[in-house]
Structure formats: C-alpha cells, structure tokens
C-alpha cells in the first residue's frame, strides 16, 4: 500500500492539472478545428521529413550518428499520408461547426431585425429545406 501512495499523488496531480487547463481554455484543445491544425501540422512534418530523409526518431538519430538518411524514410512518409484523411475529416467537422454557428447567428440577427437574410434556408421538422422567413417552422 505504501508503494501506491506516491503513484496516487502523481496521478491526482496530473488529473487535476488536466482539469484545470481544460476549464481555463474553454475546451478549445479538443475542438475539431484545433485537432485539424495539429493533424495537418503533423502530416506536413512527417511527409516533409520523410521525403527529404530527415530522421525524426531520437533513437534512430543516435544509432545512425547523424540526423540525415541517404534515402527516403518510407515509414515517416506513411505516417504523414495516414494523417491526411484524419486532418481532412477534422477540417470538415470544424468548418461545418463554424458554418452552422455562423448560419445560426445570421438567422437570429435577421429575426431580431425583422428581415429575411438573403439565400438562407432552415431545416423544417419534416427534414426538408424551406426558405428562411423569419418565423419558426412547425
């Protein structure tokens, strides 16, 4: 039991720190756009480094004695290519959330002004689209 006390203290500190950061950041780090930025940067990093032969692994650099390889590092290129669909998916989700928030804000602004925003559509209860009229559709 005495051996688990330091481990429990460390785990408690890490969980409390993660909770604190999540509360202070407004959970931005887990939004699709922030994840899309990260996935895109990682894909570019791995693709670029693998293509020009730069070794990203510290262990492999130590063993080789240099940071550069004579050939293309296919495993790095593969990781970069594998991250591209993830980044595309996250970009689509993130941009969709922005466009839906923008559409909602424009709809609410139009309702408050008593005007019909041009070219906006709303989804009615039966699943079809109807031109925005400034009134709720039932």
Q: What is the pLDDT of residues 61-112, one digit of tens each?
A: 888 888 888 899 999 999 999 999 999 999 998 888 777 767 677 666 555 5
List, as one string, the DSSP characters of the chain.
-TTHHHHHHHHHHHHHHHHHHHHHHTTGGGSHHHHHHHHHHHHHHHHHHHHHTB---HHHHHHHTSSB-SS--HHHHHHHHHHHHHHHHHHHHHHHHHHHHHHHHHHHHHHHHT---TT-EEE-TTS-EEE--SS---
Q: What is the pLDDT of residues 25-37, one digit of tens each?
A: 666 666 788 889 9
- 0.75 surpassed by pTM: no
């Amino acid at each position: 039991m005495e051996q688990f006390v330091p481990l429990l203290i460390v785990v408690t500190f890490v969980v409390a720190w993660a909770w604190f950061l999540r509360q202070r950041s407004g959970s931005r780090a887990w939004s699709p756009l922030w994840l899309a930025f990260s996935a895109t940067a990682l894909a570019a990093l791995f693709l670029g480094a693998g293509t020009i032969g730069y070794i990203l692994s510290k262990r492999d650099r130590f063993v080789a004695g240099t940071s550069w390889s004579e050939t293309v590092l296919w495993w790095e290129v593969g990781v970069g290519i594998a991250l591209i669909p993830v980044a595309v998916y996250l970009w689509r989700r993130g941009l969709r959330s922005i466009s839906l928030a923008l559409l909602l804000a424009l709809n609410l602004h139009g309702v408050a002004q008593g005007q019909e925003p041009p070219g906006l559509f709303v989804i009615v209860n039966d699943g079809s689209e109807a031109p925005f009229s400034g009134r709720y559709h039932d």
